[in-house]
Structure 1
Amino acid sequence: MTSLDSAHPLAAGLTAASRLVRSYQGEHQEVTPVWFMRQAGRSLPEYRELRVGMRMLDACLDPAMASEITLQPVRRHGVDAGIFFSDIVVPLKLAGVAVEIQPGKGPVFERPVRTLDDVKRLEETDPASMDDATFAPIAEAVRLTTAELGETPLIGFAGAPFTLAAYLVEGGPSKDHIRARTLMHADPEAWSRLMAWTADISGAFLRAQVLAGASAAQLFDSWAGSLSLADYTEHVAPASARALSHVRDLTYAVPVAPPHVPLQASVRQDGEPAVRNVPLVHFGVGTGDLLKAMHEVGADAVGVDYRTPLDEASRRLGHVVPVQGNVDPAMLAAPWEVLAPHVETVLRRGLDAPAHVLNLGHGVPPETDPAVLTRVVELVHGWRP
């Protein structure tokens, strides 16, 4: 186990008592915490103004800009967490992979990875060699952000190994990830080595964010919904566990009796401070059948997309796992008299789990009216069962 620096927001007591962190740790909160995936970005006019003339990956690697973009939705909406502004392919770019994000299309790779020789070419960059200097822009952006956030937690994130591998094999976005799934079965050695490499890249990216000040971390498996449970369990889950192992050992001592925390939550029976790990969340799209397996890779909480009701998700998870989600993003464009009852239904269903963090069942659509998100936050914070 590795203890976080005493100045880290969790160890210093700034965020350990926050609604978000305690919910991820399974403690039900009277006021449900809320944040939105892709809350930082295209739906905000201030983001579009700031990004004029700058490419996406350049913005991600500019610490001051990445920090400002992360902070924008926190200021505007009053959400309970910032989500670090970056992209899942950033660690690939830092590892020397030729990738660019094309507007309207997504990440596009100069050389797809489809053979064992291609994987060996990737392995020429050892993820273990990606040191503090490699991740310096990321760490600086996190430090700038947490200095402004104060008691509001920052969530770090990374793409799960399968999603990164799928992008690399396909060479860009895909609807069915057929090439990636073919490689999985046609060349098990190439697949295994590719998954190990992407797991260590993602894990290093996550660890850099947490050590710099993130109070939680989320692993996104955007494309895992294309897999069967058998394929996920055998060919993907071990790599996701490997990615999370890079941050699973990071712990902090809960400050004794921090504000708003019951004494029993902050100290052990012997009077010593309780030691907790940095909370980890695992989210996937179209992964209703994989929820239990996704939890078992080492996550503390599980994100649920809009397809599976939260009470059903909690049942599949044995009613013992905190859940996150899962307002349908399509509802954000509906009239308020339609959206509000939908949000309240999600909140009620979330009561079936030990704790619930309200979020969307996917990301904020770029055409979303920001005022609607602010109104949703106000509704959630004012809602009581």
Structure 2
Amino acid sequence: MTKPFNDTILKAFRGEPTDHTPVWFMRQAGRSQPEYNKLKERYSLFEITHQPELGAYVTRLPVEQYDVDAAILYKDIMTPLPAIGVDVEIKKGIGPVIDNPIRSRADIEKLGTIDPETDVSYVMDTIRLLTQEQLNVPLIGFSGAPFTLASYMIEGGPSKNYNKTKALMYSEPTTWFALMDKLAETTITYARAQVAAGASAIQIFDSWVGALNVEDYRTFIKPVMERIFTELESTEVPLIMFGVGARHLALEWNDLPVDVVGLDWRLSIKEARDMGITKPLQGNLDPSILLSDWNVIEERAKAIIDEGKQHPSHIFNLGHGVTPDIKPETLKRLTQLIHDYSKKN
């Protein structure tokens, strides 16, 4: 490594003082980068992630181009599912499509377990390549949360209303909890392996859990999340919780044994603090703002930084992922603004 290791974001994750607000962007790897789009002309997402050299290249590219304070592993939340017996394909313009959706307890009992070093060895090799040879910033590993994974497994693909998922949850709670237990085991094993390979933090994405109300979250989801984060505490790396459209669940996340609560743009940092969230916060610029004029971007970003600096600690991020139409130069300029402005104020 030519640069000294930058551990600023790890300090912020732990609630320690930092000399600037650290930043990374969800889906910063790939998406709008021309180098990535050239790769996609030759390789599918599946092919890129299965070749450690390519996966590492895509992962480290935004660190080199934008000067962000962390890398996020380039892969998909569906990655561990084939290992346990889920037939999933990422279809362009659709997303994950599953040919053998869960319909019964018998379907759950057919699911196996994951051995990360065997079943997803390419992920482990990518992590080792990045952390041992290529990165001068921490690498964030991640996993999908049980509800979000279950929603794909039950619906058979993306959904707007999650009717089949909720119907199974409400009408067959024993079956539901059996699925939650299976996915908890998978998540814990997979996340632990990422840390063992070199990941410095783990983010759990429960992207679609905002579809549930608070009471149902407490009944059907919170126990499994308690189990996951409690068991991952032994990894001794920062643990981050994130979901979309879930402002009503933020206090529930604050109760979990997590280090960082991630916010989307629907809940401001000030509102989160006022409602009683005490843990370090991550977020939360609306990605669509990055398609606006620079003066709008600058104003909104500074406001988030100002709110974040009122309480320790804050990690700047988007409220969801980078979209393909966001220009790389905008992300680079935004990173510089965050670093410079937060140092001065």
TM-score by length of 2: 0.95
Structure 1 or 2: larger helix share? Answer: 2
Distance 1:355 1:39, change over 3 A: same
Query: What is the SS of the residue equivalent to 1:359?
Result: strand
Residue in 2 aligned with 1:286?
245
CA distance in 1, matches of 2:88, 2:254: 30
Query: Is the Cα contact below 8 Å between 2:116 and 2:190 reproduced in 1?
Result: no
Query: Is the Cα contact below 8 Å between 1:40 and 1:72 reproduced in 2?
Result: yes
Deviation (angstroms), 1:378: 0.3
Residue in 2 aligned with 1:102?
91
- Tell me which amino acid in the other structure corresponds to 1:365: T
1:31-66 deviations in whole A, cap 9, x for unaligned?
A: 000000000011101111122232222322221111
Query: Is the Cα contact below 8 Å between 2:78 and 2:96 reproduced in 1?
Result: yes
Residue in 1 aligned with 2:262?
303
Query: What is the SS of the residue equivalent to 1:364?
Result: coil
Tell which deviates more after alignment, 197-206 or 220-229. Answer: 197-206
Distance 1:96 1:115, change over 3 A: closer
Residue in 2 aligned with 1:227?
212
Deviation (angstroms), 1:246: 4.2
Deviation (angstroms), 1:222: 0.3
Show the 5 A alignment for 1:136-285. Answer: 136-250=121-235, 277-285=236-244
Deviation (angstroms), 1:229: 0.6
Residue in 2 aligned with 1:50?
39
CA distance in 2, matches of 1:58, 1:244: 31
Misfit runs of 4+, over 3 Å: 148-151
Deviation (angstroms), 1:212: 0.5
Query: Is the Cα contact below 8 Å between 1:157 and 1:219 reproduced in 2?
Result: yes
Deviation (angstroms), 1:150: 4.1
1:361 pairs with 2:319: yes
Tell which deviates more after alignment, 147-156 or 64-73. Answer: 147-156
1:294-352 deviations in whole A, cap 9, x for unaligned?
A: 2323210010001111111122344x210000011010000001110000011111123
Root-mean-square deviation over aligned CA pairs? 1.5
1:27 to 16, 20, 23: 16
Deviation (angstroms), 1:131: 4.9
- Tell me which amino acid in the other structure corresponds to 2:264: D
1:114 pairs with 2:72: no
Residue in 2 aligned with 1:261?
none
**Structure 1 segments unaligned to the other structure (5+ residues):** 1-13, 251-276
TM-score by length of 1: 0.85
Distance 1:59 1:96, change over 3 A: farther
Query: What is the SS of the residue equivalent to 1:37?
Result: coil
CA distance in 1, matches of 2:332, 2:226: 35
Residue in 2 aligned with 1:126?
113
Query: What is the SS of the residue equivalent to 1:249?
Result: helix
Query: What is the SS of the residue equivalent to 1:238?
Result: helix
**Structure 2 segments unaligned to the other structure (5+ residues):** none
Aligned pairs, number: 340
CA distance in 2, matches of 1:162, 1:76: 34
Percent of residue pairs identical: 39
1:382 pairs with 2:344: no
- Tell me which amino acid in the other structure corresponds to 1:152: V
Residue in 1 aligned with 2:70?
81
Distance 1:149 1:53, change over 3 A: closer
CA distance in 2, matches of 1:41, 1:188: 39
CA distance in 2, matches of 1:79, 1:354: 20
Deviation (angstroms), 1:195: 0.7
Residue in 2 aligned with 1:256?
none
Deviation (angstroms), 1:240: 1.8
Residue in 2 aligned with 1:254?
none
Deviation (angstroms), 1:98: 0.7
